[in-house]
A and B are shown apart, each in its own frame.
Chain A
Amino acid sequence: MSDLKFTDRIDLRLRINDIDTHLEAIDARTSLLDLLREHVGLTGAKKGCNHGECGACTVLLDGRRVNGCLVLAAAVDGREVVTVEGLSDGEQLHPVQRAFIDCDAFQCGFCTPGQVISAVACIAEGHTTDEHEIREWMSGNICRCSSYPQIVEAVQAAAASENERIPS
């Protein structure tokens, strides 16, 4: 047997939405998504498929979008997580959230938190040259209500307002 110490309960320190969070004795099987929803009480990230297929669980991990359902919480100890709850500045919505409202980019809203996080990342990555590129880089988020045209519009609008804010 190897010398590494294997444990079934793990203490974790994560920075979640700018708050240092200490969690004790977490079951080793816990996914990042379940950790956020069930232990931290952040229910913005949704559990759709739990298999990496729908994108409803998308969060930012060290600034990059990932599927929370496929991340083992134990493996991301010490990392930084941003969920949809962490985007707004008090009552002030994030420009992407604003754009989703303005463009009516949701119907049932279940996929929306993942879409919004993914859109924030998609814009930061610079994958918003045209509608085709937005569709390609947003394709990891499935919307059963098929709000895709409005979502693309919202991403375009938010990307444009982002560019306005950055003087060239």
Chain B
Amino acid sequence: MIPLTYARATTLDEALDAAHDPGTAVLAGGTELLNWLRLGITDADRVVDISRVPGLDRIEPLPGGGLRIGTLVRLNDVAAHPSVARDWPVLRMAIHKSASAQLRNLATIGANLLQKTRCAYFRSEEPVPCNRRVPGSGCAAREGHDDRHALFGWTDDCIATQPSDPAVALAALDAHVVTRTATGGRRIAVTEFHVLPADGVDRDTVLEPGELVEAIELDAPAPCSAYVKVRERESYEYAIVSAAVALRLRDDGVIDSARIALGSVAMRPWRLAEAERRVVGLAPDDDAVTSAIEAALAQARPVAGSAYKLAIARGAARRALMTAAGVRP
């Protein structure tokens, strides 16, 4: 690790001021940043610790039944919150399937969305061609192991995927990221938060330099929601594919509206808009649900090694939808 200097911010303004200077990395839980520093993924040489900035570690109700989750709330504490458990089960499930118990005690919800791809070439300790690591150097995955790579939204520059589990749940909940800058702030839909390779492999999110995440906001409760994560081992592993579904059901159990997002298939959580349209008016146990998901997946464009993920995506989306509807998948 290159030499570092460290300072602890005691207010958000102090943090914003410091974060604006180039070469400065923000430290929350540190579970990503320390690895980036060790692997040379960031060349920051100053660390501003925001972990004790007051007010960023609270969960508060919003008018209208929503919830505001401060960026610094640890993943385990988000999942343990009674409102999250009751009203947004998809988020609780996605968190409980993330990382390990000890990592979730460190990892903060805001920074979870800022984690970078797990593409093995990107994380390599030896230099290999990777446009995300060294712009213009090429993409080792394009010629190498591409079985963990994208189904949607990739370019020849980069075929990686975004690995966050909570992000997929938040995308299906139409959640927002609330940010702060020295001069203001904004509210960004989670579905618009991550940047696809076509818009540049030099960034992961739409955050501008010096812009900090302040909170995640959930709007109306989504009690009929669920998360399914398919991976190579049962626990403590990134997804091959994951699926998050939030439903509104009529009294007779027919689907009134659906939001369906896939994870680990693109550099952002991928909403299946066509399936969302087609399942309205269907009973959740209908074969037509599978056809609707299949129709949406027909638009996928797998890379050579990732085609097998389509079948997994279909199964995961169907199972998440059935679980959200309370029907045994």
Contacts and interface: CB of A to CB of B under 8 A. Distances in A.
Interface of A: 1-8, 10, 28-29, 31, 50-52, 55, 58, 61, 64-67, 69-72, 74-75, 118, 121-122, 125, 127, 135-141
Most buried by A among B38, B47, B51, B102: B102
A121 B20 contact: no
Contacts of B37: 29
5 contacts: A2-B20, A6-B46, A28-B5, A70-B34, A136-B235
A71 B106 contact: yes
Nearest to A75: B49
Given A28-B4, A28-B5, A67 B49 contact: no
Nearest to A135: B235
Interface of B: 1, 3-9, 14, 17-18, 20-21, 27, 29-31, 34-35, 37-38, 46-49, 51, 99-103, 105-106, 234-236
Contact of A8 (B3, B9, B21): B3
Contacts of A67: 31, 102-103, 106
Given A67-B31, A75-B51, A7 B102 contact: no
A70 B14 contact: no
Given A5-B7, A136-B235, A139-B100, A70 B106 contact: yes
Contacts of A8: 3-6
Given A29-B1, A51-B38, A140-B100, A72 B47 contact: yes
Closest 8 CB pairs of A and B: A140-B100, A6-B5, A139-B235, A2-B18, A28-B6, A4-B7, A2-B17, A139-B236
Contacts of A139: 100-101, 234-236
A139 B30 CA distance: 20
B49 A52 contact: no
A52 B7 contact: no
A74 B101 contact: no
B9 to A, nearest CB: 6
A21 to B, nearest CB: 19
Contacts of B6: 6-8, 10, 28, 72, 74
A98 B136 CA distance: 57
A137 B105 CA distance: 12
Most buried by B among A31, A50, A71, A139: A139
A66 B105 contact: yes
Contacts of B101: 65, 118, 121-122, 125, 127, 137-140
Given A31-B34, A64-B105, A140-B103, 4 more contacts: A72-B6, A74-B8, A75-B30, A138-B101
A61 B6 CA distance: 20
A140 B236 contact: yes
Contacts of A55: 100, 102
A140 B7 CA distance: 30
Given A29-B1, A51-B35, A139-B235, A72 B30 contact: yes
Given A10-B6, A52-B31, A70-B35, A4 B48 contact: yes
B14 A4 contact: yes
Nearest to B2: A29
A72 B29 CA distance: 9
B188 to A, nearest CB: 25
A75 B108 CA distance: 14
A71 B1 CA distance: 14
A30 to B, nearest CB: 10
A29 B7 contact: no
Nearest to B77: A64
